[in-house]
Amino acid sequence: MSNPLLSRWDTPFEIAPFASISDDDFAPALEQALQDHNAQIDAIAGSTEAPGFANVIEALETPCRALEQVLGVFFTVAGADSNPKREELQREFSPKLAAHFSAITANKALYARVKAVWEQREDLDLTDEQQRVLMLTHRGFVRGGAALEGEADTRMQKIKGRLATLGTEFTQNLLADEREWFLELTEDDLEGLPEFVVSAARAAGEEKGKDGPVVTLSRSLITPFLQFSPRRDLREKAFNAWAARGANGGDTDNRAIAAEILALRAERAQLLGYKNFAAYKLETEMAKTPEAVRGLLMDVWGPAKTRADADAQVLTAMMQEDGINGDLEPWDWRYYAEKRRKAEHDLDEAALKPYLQLDRMIEASFACANRLFGLEFAPLDVPLYHPDCRAWEVTRNGQHVAVFIGDYFARGSKRSGAWCSAMRQQAKFPEVQAPVVINVCNFAKGDPALLSWDDARTLFHEFGHALHQMLSNVTYESISGTSVARDFVELPSQLYEHWLEVPDVLHEFATHAETGEPMPQEMLEKVLGAANFDMGFQTVEYVASALVDLAFHDGAAPADPMAKQAEVLAELGMPRAIIMRHATPHFAHVFAGDGYSSGYYSYMWSEVMDADAFAAFEEAGGAFDSERAKALEEHILSTGGSVDPAELYTAFRGRLPGVEALLKGRGLAAE
């Protein structure tokens, strides 16, 4: 029988036929796909025709359908619905794929043809988009080591392969720690917890095969447990397990892996002639230099730490009023911050949560996209990779735009966090291709599923990424959608979060799960009034992580990353009751792959722009101003990586922003 991963999919919108694909199909399909792709590359490199844009650059842009199908399906299920077989395959595939793609950039004959096209670029009468693709292709080969010779060339290929293996190990170790740990609760342990936390704990217990409720390391469960449990001893147990992920000793410990990754990255940068990995990595980003990144982060650190230190004094006093002497600990902060929020803003998350139903928040994200961009969403009844998934056809003016898939609930087979990926990206070459986009989240199950405010913001954030993919309108796949500078990619996602806070949106879609009544005006005002509550804590835990990431890569690789982490935090004067949002052993953004390595700062770099960009709507006709929405789509959402991001933002806003809008947006600006 033919392998379903290698055939043309005769399905609605060519969505992967998940029901027909078994885990046994992946390995043979990948072998065949790699052979097909190698033949394609060999034909380009070995051509006797004079090198030109069509027979070199466009030939490289022509997708190997088999390889795209195999990788699109495999990495979707490996991240969102893993099992022992898929984990084994991922360990096998990662070095194999690294070697495959390294061999392409190391192919001297191919690089010679790319270089020849680059050198004659002025005479080729290329469009602006073609010039951009040529520049990015040539730069990618050079930064991939194509110009290296001899031992340096050989060593580069080994480094890439080893890094791929280590990134997979890091991810799987973290997943194992998150999957294996849970804290069983008695009925007495549930005292003081709101019903939505109790319900989520019981659902987690069922998923773990236990008779009673449990707390797991899913952020959507452990965070509200730390917020609401009056049992300080249980909070300490849960928090310490959360903080120790990847650092528990044994086979799943990530500390040695992190050290080796940092050493290999530093060596890779040196082979390419850079003084360190940060200089190499940031060269292609908007920030350009480590100094620019550190400058932004330190501009924010001072006001954030001042606010956090003041908040810590208030929370300590509250704790002492409860008869607990001693220092405020990390497992105390969220509990007392929640009590303070209720006291100061009269905002109780347990009362708020019934108004944030998952299904209604999905509707809200769709409705905003409709008002801004004219998109419409119709449910699709198609087989997907897990029963929790659902799909929609996205259209505009009756024309197909994309397929959108949502996978929202936490489960043991899914890695933590939330992300957006495209199983197929938008392109017009060599044929028109509509995207298939997925949002994956880790919300607690319930009937109905209720979200925290942070969960709802996450849903809008990831849907902002999805819009960047769905509204892409470029010719070449390599610059499609989110294929942009890392410190620009978070702009559409963080910008879209602002629409969750639009009063009209909340009034229409924040309806009570039982009564159907809209959120009362008084509560709505409290929600918006408390938007910046505890922002000192949130900013400190994030900026500390970004500064540690930068320190790891801006200089010699530390032999002991944990010691380096401690050194950086000590120099910053890190408040003792706050820890990094992502400590080194579970810092998947940085160590699961190269994506956010030396780049975790990019959320804040993008936030400087998103705060300023939403201000453009407010200065015009409001959140749904049609001219601003049109400009946003034209200059940012549709353009992918076809233009330098600074030029794109300037075209949208007329200028580049400063940090002032960010500090004001976070409530950290000086009064």
Helices (H) and strands (E) in the chain, counts: 27, 7
DSSP string, 404-435: EEEEEE--TTS-SS-EEEEEE--B-SSS-B--
Give catalytic status of residue 462 as yes or no.
yes
Answer whether 628's CB lies under 8 Å from 621's CB: yes
Residue type, 498: H
Q: Is the dihedral of CA 255, 261, 264, 265 positive or negative?
A: negative
The two structure tokens encoding residue 486 = 């890392």
Q: Is the dihedral of CA 592, 595, 596, 598 positive or negative?
A: positive
Phi-psi domain of 102 (left: phi exceeds 0; alpha: psi -120 through 50; beta: other): alpha
Answer whether 605's CB lies under 8 Å from 657's CB: no
DSSP string, 575-587: -TT---SS-GGG-
Please state, in angstroms and rounded to a whole number, the distance separating the CA atoms of residues 347 and 525.
10
Phi-psi domain of 310 (left: phi exceeds 0; alpha: psi -120 through 50; beta: other): alpha
Helix 602-619 / helix 645-653 crossing angle, nearest 10 deg: 20
Residue type, 586: H
Q: Determine which helix (DSSP H) or strand (DSSP E) holds 535, and give its type and residue range.
A: helix 535-553
Please state, in angstroms and rounded to a whole number, the distance separating the CA atoms of residues 103 and 101.
5
Phi, psi of 625 (to 5 degrees): -55, 125
**CA-based nearest residue to 248, from 586, 568, 578, 563:** 586
Q: How buried is residue 431: exposed, middle or buried, by Cβ count under 10 Å (0-12/13-18/19+)?
A: exposed
Q: Is the dihedral of CA 150, 151, 157, 160 positive or negative?
A: negative
**CA-based nearest residue to 646, from 298, 285, 136:** 285
The two structure tokens encoding residue 541 = 């835990």
* CA-angle at 436, arms to 393 and 411, nearest 5°: 95
Q: Is the dihedral of CA 12, 14, 15, 18 positive or negative?
A: positive
Task: Work out whether strand 182-184 and strand 436-443 pair parallel, antiparallel, or are unpaired.
Answer: unpaired
**CA-based nearest residue to 493, from 531, 532, 466:** 466
Please state, in angstroms and rounded to a whole number, the distance separating the CA atoms of residues 238 and 125.
62
Phi, psi of 50 (to 5 degrees): -60, 135
Residue type, 241: A
**CA-based nearest residue to 528, from 418, 670, 665:** 665
Please state, in angstroms and rounded to a whole number, the distance separating the CA atoms of residues 128 and 95.
36
- Of 349, 462, 501, 541, the catalytic one is 462
HEC-encoded secondary structure of 6-43 = CCCCCCHHHCCCHHHCCHHHHHHHHHHHHHHHHHHHHH
Phi, psi of 639 (to 5 degrees): -95, -10
The two structure tokens encoding residue 463 = 């849907």
Phi-psi domain of 450 (left: phi exceeds 0; alpha: psi -120 through 50; beta: other): beta
Catalytic positions: 462
